[in-house]
Amino acid sequence: MSSLDPHALFLWLASQPSLGFEWQGYRFEAYQESTMPPRAGTVRIRLIYETPSAEGALLAWILALAKAQALEVLPIAAIERQVALHCLELTLPREPSAALLEAFPYAMAQLHLIKEPLPRLSVPGLLVMDMDSTAIQIECIDELAAMAGVGAQVAAITERAMQGELDFAQSLGQRVAQLKGADASIITRLCERLPFTPGLVAMLAELKSHDWRLVVASGGFTPFAAQLQQQLGLDAAFANELVITDGQLAGEVSGTIVDAQFKADVLARCQTQWQIAKGQSIALGDGANDLPLINAADLGIAYHAKPKLAAAADVHISHLDLRVVPYLLAR
């Protein structure tokens, strides 16, 4: 293929080359993925994408980056994982400018700026993830409320919580109270149709193949967390316990509330229980209730998240699916 074709660079890189590649006055030099953090005075970025249709926009951005940093040679590596995405890594003398970062084609690809040593995929680690709107595509309390005919009431309480008028425990208690008297069979019916988030199964399979521990910690409910644990082979699941009396929901939860701090404590306890090495924990969530968990992990990942969590996380997956996660780790 002609080197004038914008896809030629990516085909060259995929061929595991040993020689350089010339493009419009720039020279790309291939290197192998490293497990080490960036050398002093350099930074690394990873560009993750799904289809070749993104490659033209990515190459244009890379060339703009080279021009802005006055680079004649760009060290570049192909990052390979089991999941079906593409990833390349660049080593740069300094971090891209804010203007360049803003100009990145985020609708087509994921950019990960590596600032700290990454957890290593090949070393056993720990993933703790939220459930509703993270591991699965729904909010279980909303689905139960709709099935029980109280969807509008529960939505109004949720809105008050989002406005900061209620804390998590208050919001949970008031929403669950709306379910009082509902037939408990709605739980079984919902368990039978939990929609996994795209990329979840592939992500977990790759982590599991490297002996990672997999945990769900949810402010939702135990039947659904247990269903995920059974279907996905998770190592542990934590959630709130709905009280059921005579085949009906009592409108209450029992035991310790799984709130934001509980989730963070789960990560710490699991690290100790399974002797997870320092630097080998990641957390995954989507909302403000996941903030302490994200902050407690060595790598905190926000997934299609609310602005507050997206701003606090080490990385925000905003367009692609959960298959991105293995590419956020070192080899």
Helices (H), the chain: 8-14, 55-68, 98-103, 140-148, 151-162, 168-177, 185-191, 200-209, 222-232, 260-273, 291-296, 307-312
Bridge partners of residue 302, in order along the sequence: 285, 316
* Secondary structure (3-state) at 161: helix
130 is catalytic: yes
Cβ–Cβ < 8 Å for 226, 237 = yes
Q: In what order do the strands lie in the sheet with 43-49?
A: 21-23, 26-30, 73-78, 86-92, 43-49, 109-114
Q: How far apart are CA 24 and CA 121, in angstroms?
A: 36
Q: Which of 130, 290, 298, 321 is catalytic?
A: 130
Which DSSP state fits 196? B
Q: How far apart are CA 314 and CA 225, in angstroms?
A: 26
Burial 317-329 (b: 16+ CB within 10 A, else e): beebbbbbbbbbb
Which DSSP state fits 132? B
Contacts of 262 (CB under 8 A, 6+ apart): 217, 238, 256
Q: Which of 5, 132, 259, 298 is catalytic?
A: 132
Instruction: DSSP for 33-48, please give it.
Output: --SSPPPTT-EEEEEE
Nearest of 301, 84, 309, 109 to residue 199 by alpha carbon? 84
Residue type, 169: A
Structure tokens at 71: 């680079």
Cβ–Cβ < 8 Å for 44, 85 = no
132 is catalytic: yes
Residues with active-site annotation: 130, 132
